[in-house]
Amino acid sequence: MKPRTELYPPIEPYERGALIVSDLHTLYWEQSGNPRGIPVLFLHGGPGGGCSPRHRQFFDPAFYRIVLFDQRGAGRSTPLGEVRENTTPILVRDIEKLREHLGIDRWLVFGGSWGSTLALAYGQAHPERALGFVLRGIFLGRKREVEWFVNGMGYVFPEAWRQFAGMVPERERGDLLHAYARRLFDPDPAMHLPFARAWGHYEGSCSNLMPALAAGTAAQMETDAVALGLARLECHYMLNGIFMPEGALLAGVPRIGHLPCTIIQGRYDMVCPIVSADDLQRRWPGAEYIVVPDAGHSAWEPGTCAELVAACERMKRKLVTG
């Protein structure tokens, strides 16, 4: 039988909480689905993107114990947009604290975009805690990927890039990342909020192949509730090379290469171009690799969404037969 490809119906969490991970940061977390099911951890994108109720719907609630949480500085975690005490190794430690707090031994790790980055970093640091991976829109944090995001997307979306670059004086456009950082981290909301919205609008405008979805994605990503965490944290991590050595995530694949993995990539992903997924698959030949021929970056494009649900359905058999 072909696996299910439709999202599951909306569900509510059976438990929510706030995990204090430092004197500064508190993380929102929730659990839904089957309390005695196979645990699955959802890692949101960005960094700084946060989770939404719809993310629960990728997973069979009768089979999976579904764990969502907002990473430091994102979503319902506090403080929003905070970059202090916020690095990749720290986020990996947060995941372990959450796992221990929930009494989970091992879990399936699901992540898209930045979530794929963090999933790889976590899995490579703690391979004994991962049951497998479902990864989408691969971002490996390399310099060329950051440069593509800041400038390269303008080759395909010149209108969006002109609007993004036009926020700063022409003399500063040779280094847009630092130009935006100076404004995003200004304490005055009258300064940082317009630049956060502009960042979110730029990324959202380039995230979809399907035009019918593009306007909605851009509008959602430039709302104040999303834009500040997204823009500040993405800028922070890009400026610092995701706080990992160049190429470290590819080099670390042998630590998790024995685990089941599905990589799902939109052919026309302009935010995280397919070359990174291709690089990862060639380093991880045992992984299932699915290229969605009519999709961009967003998880909500029909083909990508269907493949994500189907991947989680196929994982059910692998996890049960183990």
User: 3-class SS at 141?
Assistant: coil
Kindly report the pTM of this predicted structure.
0.96
pLDDT of residue 221: 80
Look up residue 78 and give its DSSP letter: B
pLDDT of residue 155: 97
Low-confidence ranges of the chain (pLDDT < 70): 214-215, 218, 322
Note the pLDDT tens digit of each residue in 79-89: 999 999 999 99
Catalytic residue among 116, 192, 297, 298: 297
> What b/e string do you get for 29-49 counting C-beta neighbours within 10 Å, with b at 16 or more?
bbbbbbeebbbbbbbbbbbbb
β-strand pairing of 64-69 with 261-266:
unpaired
Catalytic residue among 113, 205, 207, 298: 113
What is the amino acid identity at position 272?
Answer: C
Separation of alpha carbons 286 and 268, rounded Å? 24
pLDDT of residue 90: 98
Separation of alpha carbons 193 and 62, rounded Å? 41
* Backbone CA torsion sign across 71, 296, 183, 236: positive
Structural domains in the chain, CATH included, are 15-142+243-321 (3.40.50.1820), 144-240 (no CATH)
Catalytic residue among 32, 269, 276, 298: 269
Q: Any catalytic annotation for residue 269? A: yes
pLDDT of residue 218: 66
Separation of alpha carbons 93 and 102, rounded Å? 14
Q: Which of 104, 115, 114 shows the shortest CA–CA distance to 36?
A: 104
Q: Any catalytic annotation for residue 22? A: no
Q: Any catalytic annotation for residue 52? A: no
Q: What is the DSSP string of 156-207?
A: T-HHHHHHHHTTS-GGGGGGHHHHHHHHHT-S-HHHHHHHHHHHHHHHHHTS
Separation of alpha carbons 16 and 118, rounded Å? 22
Instruction: Quote the radius of gyration of the chain (alpha carbons, Å).
Output: 18
pLDDT of residue 322: 65
